[in-house]
A and B are shown apart, each in its own frame.
Chain A
Amino acid sequence: MKVFISHSHQNGSAALALYERLTHRGVQAWLDTRDLATGVDWKQQVAAAIEAAGAFVVLVGPGAEPDSPQRFDWEQITDHEFYLDAKKPMIPVVIGSTDIPGFLGTRNALIVEDPSSIDFDSLAERIAAALGKPEDTIDQVKLERGRDAREQAVKSLREYSVELEREDVKRAALRGLK
């Protein structure tokens, strides 16, 4: 199983350190800075690597926004809905303070509070362990919370719909008065 590592430029050295620790443990990993071939469109190569991946490690943060290459990774993952495949381990590694993108919201994240002192050996060990148990990468509590939130969202849409209809009736009545 090939593990695709998604990272932004600012996490480039962390991604490389993690790649080395994972390969040292016998995990087959794919990292752009190691595996991209020259002379071939990088987007095609990344898209193919994501499609072929059996698992994902996604480095998120610090800060809110992914850069352009990582946004491309995420577009591939979400466009093809690989994140909905419960058989594919998807492990967010959250570095510092940041918002987690929604598609990773129900996955168990590994939290790194201090970006300046990351224990890569321990991190790689935890990732390697999680890769063997895809079901453990999903946070069932968050999934249950998501079900409740979904019900709430439909309720909210219903309330909005009722309000629109009420406004529509009011406007029609006003038009009648005119």
Chain B
Amino acid sequence: MSAAYERSVFINCPFDDDFQPLFHAIVLTVAAKGFTPRCAHETEGQADPRIVRIARGLMESKYSIHDLSRYQGQGAENLGRFNMPLELGIALGIRYLKEGTATSHNWVALVPEHFIHQKFISDLAGYDPPDHDQKPPTVIRKVAAWLSMQPDFMQPTPTGRTILDAYPNFCVLLDKEKADALGTLTWPSIIKSALVVVSGLPLV
């Protein structure tokens, strides 16, 4: 993909229906803050195994966002999902391997509220990862705050309030894209809709 390395933010989060509003909130915030959102969906259909495609996407991105909301067992067998921590591990590895080089990497893990992550992923102690209440306004605020600390962040920029106000419009566009594609929402459609919304945002 041609997206500039310094502007690429790889999003690693659950893709289930319940998480979708938060995923879309992350995508919109990343785009609104002047970065290019990327994720495993962009290479769907390619022959390489999924983990290889994700690792490649992470390598091509200067930043990555990992959501660790799905920490509880699910389904009849009460199984945990390890994909997110596995992919966060890849990002950590890339960060330390590339430290001090021209293609450094930085990541953030978003965690559930009330410090529960200290029990299920205690090795993140000392990082104080941003937490959220599983609601788009909080996710937008936390992602916007983290991005604004990165050296490639630029001003002027839309405020978090502006992004939050634009979010319903983004959802309407996504619903329309989904309806037009007979119930399927593709990554190109999500990016196209984000571009429409972001292009008209006021900056401060």
Q: Which residues of A come within 8 Å of B, CB atoms? A: 68, 71-72, 74-75, 78-79, 81, 83-84, 99-103, 105-106, 143, 146-147, 149-150, 153-154, 156-161, 163-165, 167-168, 171
Contact = CB atoms under 8 A, between A and B. Distances in A.
A83 B34 contact: no
B23 to A, nearest CB: 16
Contact of A154 (B4, B147, B149, B199): B199
Interface residues of B, number: 44
Interface stretch (B49-57, B167-175, B185-193): B185-193
A157 B31 contact: yes
Nearest to A106: B155
Contact of B149 (A101, A106, A146, A163): A101
Contacts of A105: 151, 153-155
A106 B155 CA distance: 7
Contacts of A83: 148
Nearest to A107: B155
A164 B159 contact: no
A44 to B, nearest CB: 15
Nearest to B104: A64
Contact of A153 (B34, B128, B141, B187): B34
Contacts of A156: 3-4, 7, 36
B148 A103 contact: yes
The 4 closest A-B pairs by CB, nearest first: A102-B153, A78-B145, A164-B188, A153-B34
B141 A71 contact: no
Contact of A149 (B34, B142, B145, B199): B34
Given A78-B149, A84-B204, A161 B155 contact: no
B150 interface: yes
B151 to A, nearest CB: 4
A164 B145 contact: no
B198 interface: yes
A46 to B, nearest CB: 13
B128 A154 contact: no
A168 B186 contact: yes
Contacts of A171: 45
Contacts of B78: none
Nearest to A85: B204
A102 to B, nearest CB: 3
A68 B148 contact: no
Contacts of B157: 84, 150
A165 B188 contact: yes
B165 interface: no
Given A75-B145, A106-B155, 18 more contacts: A75-B130, A78-B148, A83-B148, A101-B149, A101-B151, A102-B147, A102-B154, A102-B155, A103-B153, A103-B155, A105-B154, A150-B156, A154-B34, A154-B199, A159-B3, A161-B195, A163-B2, A164-B42
B1 interface: yes
A140 B34 CA distance: 19
A84 B163 CA distance: 15
B35 interface: yes
A165 B160 contact: no
Contacts of B31: 157
A96 to B, nearest CB: 15
A149 B154 contact: yes
